[in-house]
Structure 1
């Protein structure tokens, strides 16, 4: 048997810890492309939100106070209005058929916008009561729609109190026209939402409580096994091909799949609302922040 002295054991642990720290630091540095800089795309908005990437890598995002959806063309790095008015759209996400889903906040609805811009209202109530205000969306591998439903009082609403008794996460199966509650956990303000590439995990931010949780997704869309993922909330979120989760608020904070912070991307705005990956290779991080939108070249890429 080999004997080790206390000093040598301490040295070994210190070296192991140093190596682990260096490895984590290297991983954090590696997710951003070498010499990449945050680039302002445009600052002509009131409040930007809800970026969603289409099959070409172009990004659609919302300027909710101005009631419009804007398109960023990845090839030309230009922005143009896509839809105005837009039902005061907030969060957006593309389904597997190329339709743009929108949390249409004006009348507390969930919309499907076809490529020809024909609008279908998928949901306008739950149990004959108005939704609080659908906020953020994620589509699972079989086309089911998860969405958060917090309550943020809007100036364009006539009502001042929510009709629903709780702020929840809902799931709309592709085979159903009625959503079901999949998370009703005394949320303060459920907000950002994103699923893992394999469809097994769902990350949900309770932005009011400044917490982000992760759930296991069952075959019928029901959520279980709730765990604290990060001790911070998020207005919006995305995930990359390494399983890193990107949370927003004070810039963009990146956590690995274990919930360990590996990176913070500073954004020169008082609030960063949302984030996704765009470009033909989905390796451009697209960030919506207050009156502006930004891009950052990455070594990782987004997933659908």
Structure 2
């Protein structure tokens, strides 16, 4: 394990309380294109995807070692740990959203909408009612690099919700390529990045889970936004080509954590949820910070 330089850039005084290490620990650096980090407190493990190599890797917090968790891995991309401790993940290969049960078996939650196969589910988030919300761009069927080249069956790239009764609802249909998504702490807001259009949008979530609004919150000035997470002060952290961008809920770019590689995704982890785990091109990084991620 070695370190790389991490530079904190303050662009607004409201970023002053945010502090962190001036280096990032390189936990792994032998991937092709890494994605989808998710921290399991029960396993003390970060799972992450090496998409082109079709495997899911696991970094062990206790030993610092990295091993193969699943191979082939379904060309998996984003994932999250649900409230029961199970691993939910999006798979480009099977074009589905799956759940790994405690005994290791895999349950397919959703693989189609109106009898049409998804493009390639990309990232997901769980609502407190147990529903799973996910994005479906076409990166996994564009070529054989991140999945299997195929002709789309659905008319575009959209955002969906899976409910516990097995039903799938298309909740937003006006994105170019929806990618990362996350709820605010009170679940009244859903943030969704649109990598194709280089911005992140804010949608209002009604009690019946319908969405409204959808205005652009911010536009990325370094490539396009990818994965996103929210900290306990409501700030939005978004992966970009130059590192992580930190946004106020009003859309102001407060500051950046500049890193030397293109960042794809992030998650808060560790016993106190104050360690950022970041996938950046071929590397999995960890950086201890002064903020914590929401539960």
Determine if the TM-score, normalized by the shorter chain, exceeds 0.5. Answer: yes
d(CA) in 2 for partners of 1:123, 1:63: 22
- CA drift of 1:24 comes to 4.1
d(CA) in 2 for partners of 1:58, 1:78: 10
d(CA) in 2 for partners of 1:277, 1:206: 22
In the other structure, the counterpart of 2:254 is: 262
d(CA) in 1 for partners of 2:273, 2:80: 15
1:1-304 to 2 correspondences below 5 Å: 24-25=12-13, 27-33=14-20, 35-56=21-42, 58-152=45-139, 153-155=142-144, 156-159=147-150, 161-174=151-164, 176-185=165-174, 187-232=175-220, 233-250=224-241, 251-269=243-261, 271-304=262-295
**CA contact under 8 A between 2:41 and 2:270: conserved in structure 1?**
no
**CA contact under 8 A between 2:11 and 2:253: conserved in structure 1?**
no
Q: Which secondary structure does the structure 2 equivalent of 1:170 belong to?
A: strand
Q: Which secondary structure does the structure 2 equivalent of 1:45 belong to?
A: coil
- CA drift of 1:201 comes to 0.8
Residue correspondences, number: 277
In the other structure, the counterpart of 1:3 is: none
TM-score between both structures, scaled by the size of structure 1: 0.86
**CA contact under 8 A between 2:157 and 2:178: conserved in structure 1?**
yes
Question: Alpha-carbon deviations, 1:275-300, whole Å to 9, x = none?
Answer: 11111111001110111111111010
**CA contact under 8 A between 1:58 and 1:279: conserved in structure 2?**
no
Normalized per residue, the structure richer in helix is: 1
d(CA) in 2 for partners of 1:104, 1:146: 14
Q: Which secondary structure does the structure 2 equivalent of 1:106 belong to?
A: coil
d(CA) in 2 for partners of 1:72, 1:154: 29
d(CA) in 1 for partners of 2:186, 2:56: 29
Q: Give every structure 1 segment of 4 or more consecutive aligned residues whose post-TM-superposition deviation is greater than 4 Å.
A: none
Q: Which secondary structure does the structure 2 equivalent of 1:273 belong to?
A: strand
Q: Which secondary structure does the structure 2 equivalent of 1:132 belong to?
A: coil
- CA drift of 1:262 comes to 1.2
- CA drift of 1:72 comes to 2.0
In structure 1, stretches of 5+ residues that fail to align are 1-21
